[in-house]
Structure 1
């Protein structure tokens, strides 16, 4: 402890020289002086802690030597009496009482110095649960960094594979959980100053783009459902109108019979019956057309159509169906109005995927990798990320 305190004092003296400006020039000098001045104070405070503890232990060591010497004299006297057969029961009891007194005095002084040392280290340099946690993170930093890098590359691989093939649901879910795992790992590393907060920011940005993309997909699904409902009503209306046109001459004739004064009751009854049949046929035609439209499944987007939106076939299929419904019912203002916003939601989904992929690609390409240590990296990019290395809870 004395040697550590001396080393800290020497380092503090060097920092004090920097803080006083000796040999320091340039635009960085003011910031360097301020940082050196603060660190000088912290190092001297730490040195004082070591010196206080060393002083307490030194005094306790001296007293402990005295107690041990006294206990040794008692033991020596007892053995001498035993060897000369001069000892009796009362003499042995007296030696035991003397040893008990020395032991009690030793324990009392030990407690005194223990309390004194605790008081002396109760300063602003605190050892907290976070310090212990940080020590554990520092110890396993290489393992954590490697696991995080593996999870990041696996998630990127899944995203790349999704461009050309639609992964199973559990695979897509795995990519999301891997992203959360990468964020948790980067948080641990950044909090203990073993990683950059820039990595945490990029992970949060990636999760944000996922959320925005999910909202855009939900909105596109809502637009398609509204357009589909409007199309079913438009199909019903179109079929009913077509059937009505086809039976117009029949309805005109039956109406003339019903309205003619010379028609008999039987003729009017047959005419009304035929007219009701024609109307019912129009209603049935409308219902059949609506049901037929409702039964039309989502169209299957091509591989390229899915690829341009990040490989998400549902997004491509929904947008393609909206386009089909627009083309199928151009005369329906309800269909055209319900389909508004489809391109915007698709564009948001596509844009978030492009931006997230670009950010991840730049980070993977320009950054270093624990999984692929032989990979080339771009030095200034690493320097940029190192600017955001800050330990959480540090008093220094």
Structure 2
């Protein structure tokens, strides 16, 4: 059950936080582990006591098996004792929260009565207010009984909440001591156990991860208008993913968060790949269009000076009364005309390659999730396709670019949906989302 968020008029926040159902879930998990350890310890003891083991290795194997069996017994004792403490704490925590919630409900009812009387008092004339103030200072018995009872109820609720909070603090310390005592045995914890404990105590890590997650969301929105910020958003998302992996692997977070982060990274990767592919297609279309412009300009120039080139060619081949000097001049004229054709083609190709990208409208930018450069590239691809509609390369480039743009839009929509769903899912579901994530908590080595 979700905890109340508004504790006015008694507190700024929840004085008895905790999740009894989440604790009971951990108790069930620890019970399974204890049962498994007990079974394995019994199996090792039986192996050590077996009479059918022969040879030099038998004594060593039996000794090691007994030793490992004793350690498993000690570990099982840990789990059995700790789960008992946690189970009792869950029951008491639930009772403390019930008392606190009841006090809060009574306080809100009393505060509504007090506020109602205050609102009516505001409507009175100055003379009436002075009279009421004098009555209050004289502790007049004429004070509204309902108002007096509401004030008493509010004070009683405040006292009950203070008592519940004090009991909560005392019993939480009690069970914390019990748990510390249960795990303070001869077993030596591994570095991984110590690391898990360190992460469990590092509340700042969860806060840091939450803040980074919101920063990544904000950077993603800004990237719609300033594309370079997208790389910052990606870096923040990677940092959040690593932090969630650390929390989940140590049993202090949900693997569901890791799955969501990986999904978001996958969507971001798809978007980056799509943007890169569109850029490559735009460059390919420019190159193809430049070649077509080159061929077209050369063909046009060649058609324009075709007569002059033929005349020069005939003069260059003419023999008889024509001097070699005249033939060489005709040959040079023909070569100059051909060079002019090539220059015309090169000039046309350069104009295509060096042309500015088309201006992108707001609608164009919306199609590329706010990336102005990408929308210009898309528009450029379509421009050359439309200018040379019979060219299969330009037509295919435009079709591929549209598919990549659709992928970009889809990746952004899915990634944004995952992000918003994760941030507001618990509010929408009334706490069910967090409970679902809680069922996917398991440290590495305890699946």
Change (3 A) 1:250 1:338: farther
Change (3 A) 1:338 1:260: farther
How far apart, CA to CA, are the structure 2 residues paired with 1:367 and 1:209? Answer: 23
Question: How big is the shift at 1:252?
Answer: 4.3
Tell which deviates more after alignment, 270-279 or 193-202.
270-279
Question: How big is the shift at 1:298?
Answer: 2.8
How far apart, CA to CA, are the structure 1 residues paired with 2:76 and 2:395? Answer: 77
Matched, 1:386 2:446: no
SS in 2 for 1:180: helix
Equivalent residue pairs, number: 282
Matches within 5 A, 1:309-324: 309-324=368-383
Question: How big is the shift at 1:214?
Answer: 2.1
How far apart, CA to CA, are the structure 1 residues paired with 2:368 and 2:320? Answer: 71
CA RMSD across the alignment: 3.4
Q: Is the 8 A contact 1:221 1:318 kept in 2?
A: yes
Q: Is the 8 A contact 2:301 2:344 kept in 1?
A: yes
Matched, 1:349 2:349: no
SS in 1 for 2:223: helix
Question: How big is the shift at 1:290?
Answer: 1.3
Aligned match for 2:285, one of 220, 227, 230 = 227
Measured against aligned partners, the alpha-carbon deviations of 1:198-241 in whole angstroms (never above 9, x if no partner) come to 00111111112222222222222222222221121111111101
Tell me the residue number matched to 2:198: 136
Q: Is the 8 A contact 1:234 1:332 kept in 2?
A: no
Matches within 5 A, 1:85-234: 121=186, 127-141=189-203, 143-163=204-224, 165-167=225-227, 169=228, 171-234=229-292
Question: How big is the shift at 1:254?
Answer: 4.2
Structure 1: any 5+ residue segments left out of the alignment?
1-30, 51-119, 369-375
How far apart, CA to CA, are the structure 1 residues paired with 2:77 and 2:233? Answer: 51
Matched, 1:295 2:292: no
Q: Is the 8 A contact 1:234 1:335 kept in 2?
A: no
Tell me the residue number matched to 1:18: none
How far apart, CA to CA, are the structure 1 residues paired with 2:307 and 2:426? Answer: 78
Change (3 A) 1:367 1:209: same
Question: How big is the shift at 1:333?
Answer: 4.2
Tell which deviates more after alignment, 359-368 or 259-268.
259-268
TM-score by length of 1: 0.61
Larger radius of gyration between Structure 1 and Structure 2: 1
Structure 2: any 5+ residue segments left out of the alignment?
1-27, 40-71, 80-184
